[in-house]
């Protein structure tokens, strides 16, 4: 270990033209690390607190100058001292002192945590993915690097039709994703890109050129209102590109956004209000009609009863590579918010069988890895995920490969999404010095 000698942070813009933080950290031996902090739109109420200034005269209240000031205020506790990753993250949590990181802001804490990780990897002369892998396994950072000998082929979830809070159309379900289940990551990326372009041509032909505008995550957002319309378009694109039978589908319903706590019903489509048992039947009908192998946030973020019911009554799927059997992947995002306490609650309730891991939901790298290890111990699947308000930082690509998880990274378009694909292509090609 060497000492931290400098920390700098500035306000930058994310992919939605909203302010976020860039944090840079320098160690005494000259090793450097940085991180650009992402932000979500469809956020769970239990997520760690993202600190915004709320001054409506500046960026509509979304500036992050308070978070920057908070980083300045704790420099004296960090500079000139030595830490391991676990010690550094623990120190940040102690300096904040609140259950959900509202004092310093989870965005400020995360920027520091990941910048420190990158600087530490450089200090130990380890590729970032190797540093993260050793963190997850509790291995010695000082032993000679053996390189990335394991060739884990992770599964990319590509959101190619956007709805919900990620678009301006009438689709209440938020994301419709393709999931190639064959070949190398390069072959998967090719399939996603070809399906994406074919889908664009189909939408232009059926709905007009103006309908090929994209949503927050690069997926198309045509004026459609029903799930089957979106799924039919995607299936046609898969068939026309010759990938039928080799590409599965996934959905992120983000059901909290169409749930009424008063009526206890879900408006999954405009005018269609269902209770959780009826909504389970609705999902099962889709699973039986399309090659869907994963559904994320099928119910509201605190509706453990509904999740547990779905786990017991979900339709069977054919050859699910994510579960290794005929079990539908039921993914907790807003339900879990990458929080070990929420994961424990879900395990006891039998509420899901997969974790969506978003590092900014919990605020430190150490806690994110702890969440993954808890999921792994429960025999759950992990999907490392981007956010809708992204940056051109590709850290999650290294993290997904290090954990051997799947990755959710949006459409293969828009620079902040493409950079994640490109980083993984680089890592798999072994063209990565750091």
Cβ–Cβ contacts within 10 Å for residue 91, how many? Answer: 16
Is 267 annotated in the active site? Answer: no
- Residue of 314, 306, 277, 256 lying closest to 267 (CA atoms): 256
Which residues fall within 8 angstroms of residue 208, CB to CB, at 6 or more apart?
none
Strand order in the sheet with 265-269: 259-260, 265-269, 272-274
Q: Is residue 254 left, alpha or beta, with left meaning phi > 0 and alpha meaning psi from -120 to 50?
A: left
Task: Tell me which of 101, 188, 200, 358 is the catalytic residue.
Answer: 358
Answer whether 14's CB lies under 8 Å from 361's CB: no
Which tokens sit at 37?
Answer: 């902090």
**Cα–Cα separations (whole angstroms), residue 121 to 113, 117, 218, 370:** 12, 6, 31, 19
Answer whether 257's CB lies under 8 Å from 165's CB: yes
Task: Tell me which of 47, 50, 217, 370 is the catalytic residue.
Answer: 217
- Residue of 409, 345, 343, 393 lying closest to 372 (CA atoms): 343
Answer whether 104's CB lies under 8 Å from 67's CB: yes
> What is the C-alpha separation between 433 and 220, in angstroms, rounded?
35
Which tokens sit at 244?
Answer: 């039928």
Answer whether 42's CB lies under 8 Å from 16's CB: no
The DSSP bridge partners found for residue 88 are none
Is 200 annotated in the active site? Answer: no
Strand order in the sheet with 32-36: 4-13, 19-27, 32-36
Write out the catalytic residue numbers.
217, 358
């Amino acid at each position: 270990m060497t000492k931290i000698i400098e920390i700098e942070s500035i306000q930058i813009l994310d992919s939605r033209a909203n302010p976020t933080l860039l944090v840079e950290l320098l160690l005494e031996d000259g090793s450097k690390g940085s991180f650009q902090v992402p932000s979500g739109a469809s956020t769970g109420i239990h997520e760690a607190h993202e600190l915004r200034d709320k001054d409506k005269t500046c960026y509509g209240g979304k500036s992050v100058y308070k978070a920057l000031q908070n980083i300045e205020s704790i420099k004296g506790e960090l500079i000139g001292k030595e830490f391991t990753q676990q010690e550094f993250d623990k120190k940040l949590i102690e300096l904040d002192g609140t259950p959900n990181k509202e004092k310093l802001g989870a965005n400020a804490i995360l920027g520091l945590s990941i910048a420190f990780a990158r600087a530490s990897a450089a200090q130990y002369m380890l590729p970032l993915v190797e540093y993260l892998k050793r963190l997850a396994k509790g291995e010695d950072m000082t032993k000679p690097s053996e390189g990335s000998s394991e060739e884990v082929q992770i599964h990319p979830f590509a959101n190619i039709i956007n709805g919900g809070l990620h678009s301006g159309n009438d689709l209440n379900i938020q994301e419709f994703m393709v999931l190639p289940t064959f070949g190398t990551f390069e072959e998967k990326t090719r399939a996603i890109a070809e399906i994406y372009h074919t889908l664009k041509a189909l939408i232009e032909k059926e709905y007009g050129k103006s309908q090929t505008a994209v949503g927050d995550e690069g997926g198309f957002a045509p004026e459609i209102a029903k799930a089957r319309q979106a799924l039919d378009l995607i299936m046609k694109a898969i068939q026309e590109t010759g990938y039928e039978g080799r590409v599965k589908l996934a959905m992120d319903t983000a059901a909290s956004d169409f749930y009424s706590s008063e009526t206890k019903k879900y408006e999954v489509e405009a005018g269609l209000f269902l209770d959780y048992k009826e909504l389970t039947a609705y999902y099962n009908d889709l699973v039986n009609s399309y090659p869907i192998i994963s559904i994320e946030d099928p119910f509201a973020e605190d509706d453990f009863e509904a999740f547990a019911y779905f786990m017991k009554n979900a339709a069977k799927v054919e050859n699910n590579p994510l579960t290794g059997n005929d079990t539908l992947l039921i993914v907790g995002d807003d339900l879990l918010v990458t929080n070990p306490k929420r994961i424990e609650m879900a395990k006891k309730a039998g509420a899901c069988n997969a974790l969506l891991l978003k590092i900014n939901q919990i605020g430190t790298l150490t806690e994110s890895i702890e969440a993954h290890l808890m999921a792994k111990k429960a025999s759950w699947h992990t999907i490392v995920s981007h956010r809708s308000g992204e940056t051109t930082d590709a850290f999650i690509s290294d993290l997904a490969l290090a954990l051997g998880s799947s990755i959710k990274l949006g459409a293969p378009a828009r620079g902040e999404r493409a950079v994640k694909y490109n980083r993984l292509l680089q890592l798999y090609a072994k063209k990565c010095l750091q």
